Structure 1
């Protein structure tokens, strides 16, 4: 009796185990993963530099001679025309020098006339053999000396006349007086700046480029200019000039960014501006966090990309640029619109369905199977 009961219990236990073995375990829910989209890219990779609007042609205007500044006819901010009189030195000394030079010319020409008459007389006597040939040659030399002195006197008179003209400072071109640097009554030296003239031919923004990245910039490279007083409006421009040597004090390279002619009329001299220059090479590539990088079976760099809709994982091999402190540029393999797993990739597998969330713990896209 006891043997039959024991056998019946064993059979029932085996049947129960068989019944339990036939049931399948419920599938595990999708694993939550943190996902991000690659940042940067050519449309967003810009370097920004602060600068100031300047004229393309900025000329310090000065007198070619020194003297006392008698009159100043324009002031900072005045618009001037080519040839307009801007300032004048006291011309008294120059007029006296010009008068003295003219007197020297008159004396030299009188001496030349006398030497010419003497030469003609000695030539007639020499033809009649009344004077020696050496005497005639001496008179010819005296005439040529007088002729040279007359030429020198006329040249000196021309210089003195020019010196008188140099007492007037005139505008070399159309433009605006950007600054005034001397006052009437002041004694100025030759070459000392009196005004700074900003010509009308073009407007530029002066910026400083960093020494460490100077090879990333070149003349002709496109740029955008945004005035601080008109935020959001960007004007087309190009790098026109880069200094060949760095400033010894701050170790930056001075550069000029020229505005397009249509945009130059929209800016004023001295305005503060920001210049945006698009980056090139790896700096302009998409960037991903270092924590998103994985290695496939062959040791190549890759990332996990979440398929839209199904949320299944796909391994995407990538080509990388130089590593940064917390990110790395991706030269190929992913697009800006892809969602990639930012962390924990070593726990995932190909084709696994996940529940992607962003850094704010918000679900990305619809859940798998959602209607």
Structure 2
């Protein structure tokens, strides 16, 4: 009897010594509510910085080769049509013109003599035709030499502003080599650069609003514009696409080079043209080769939901499928979760 009592006491003491392992605390996660309202791409306005440029910008150069002996304008100068901008050394062109005139005079004298001989039937008609042809060739050569001599003066063919000077007196230039860059007077545009992650959402003719940094008071009112063109090739250095926004009812004398902000209202300039949802990049979980998000369901348990991503932008990932809006998803720490796991949700889930 005494032995049985001792055994019972030892069992009770052993049971009291055993403790159950502590339960692991639930993981605390930050979530957000995905909504089709304020997360729709088509509700986002996009703004870009640009500068005022002329609608037509041309390069000016001599039509003949030679040595520049005079440059009459500097960068920033306003020029008028017909104004002489620079001159080449005219010596060689003058000699060529004199030579051509001498050949023309000789051909004219020969033609007159052959016409007289033909009138007396001393020569054939074919001999006279040959002199007629020689005279016409000499006449054309003289006119060409005269034009070449005139080409030693570089003349502005439009009113405009000299943007850049690329040659100096004493420099020998070839025919067609750029000497000046000129912005013609008239219509003004805004030059902007579109990121490669967003360019697919733009199209020609899209409405825009343009405001100028230097404007104040009534002049600060935005000017209506329209996207005129987008370069099909990205800049090799910046990886952006050059675009031009034309202005409506803008002052044609708007100063060139001033800074402007171009805003595309309505957000049709998003990364994609179709409506979608934007979620943070930290909410994307890569499941094999397909992206997914963790949805917090009943009882705060998480489940993995595959989604389609149409583009990645600075604002987040553009979800094209898999989410209907209104879901509560995990916004961070997605790599630490497992399917069916119960979590603790941080207070006040953020609405995207």
Match of 2:199 among 211, 214, 227: 214
Equivalent positions of 1:290-329 (< 5 A) are none
Match of 2:246 among 258, 276, 284: 258
* CA–CA separation in structure 1 for the residues paired with 2:187 and 2:208: 16
* Structure 1 unaligned regions, length at least 5: 1-32, 124-135, 297-319, 335-339, 345-355, 361-371
* Structure 2 unaligned regions, length at least 5: 1-30, 284-292, 299-307, 331-346
Match of 2:223 among 235, 240, 243: 235
Other structure's SS at 2:175 match: coil
Shift of 1:358: 7.8
Shift of 1:333: 8.8
| TM-score (structure 2 length as normaliser) | 0.64
Contact 1:202 1:261 in 2 (8 A): no
Equivalent positions of 1:129-208 (< 5 A) are 139-208=124-193
Distance 1:282 1:85, change over 3 A: closer
Distance 1:77 1:327, change over 3 A: closer
* CA–CA separation in structure 2 for the residues paired with 1:222 and 1:241: 12
Contact 1:322 1:329 in 2 (8 A): yes
Shift of 1:72: 1.7
Equivalent positions of 1:1-371 (< 5 A) are 38-39=37-38, 44-122=43-121, 139-229=124-214, 234-262=222-250, 265=253, 267-277=254-264, 278=267, 279=269
* CA–CA separation in structure 2 for the residues paired with 1:178 and 1:39: 45
Contact 1:235 1:259 in 2 (8 A): yes
* CA–CA separation in structure 2 for the residues paired with 1:57 and 1:249: 25
* CA–CA separation in structure 1 for the residues paired with 2:240 and 2:350: 38
Contact 1:206 1:257 in 2 (8 A): yes
Distance 1:82 1:295, change over 3 A: farther
| TM-score (structure 1 length as normaliser) | 0.61
Shift of 1:234: 3.5
* CA–CA separation in structure 1 for the residues paired with 2:32 and 2:86: 72
* CA–CA separation in structure 2 for the residues paired with 1:115 and 1:240: 64
Q: Give the CA RMSD over aligned residues.
A: 3.9
Q: Which has the larger radius of gyration?
A: 1
Shift of 1:242: 1.8
Shift of 1:64: 0.4
Contact 2:223 2:250 in 1 (8 A): no
Bigger mean CA offset, 50-59 vs 271-280? 271-280
Deviations 1:188-211 (A, max 9, x none): 221122221111121112223334
Contact 2:82 2:158 in 1 (8 A): yes
Shift of 1:154: 0.3
Aligned residues: 275
Distance 1:64 1:327, change over 3 A: closer
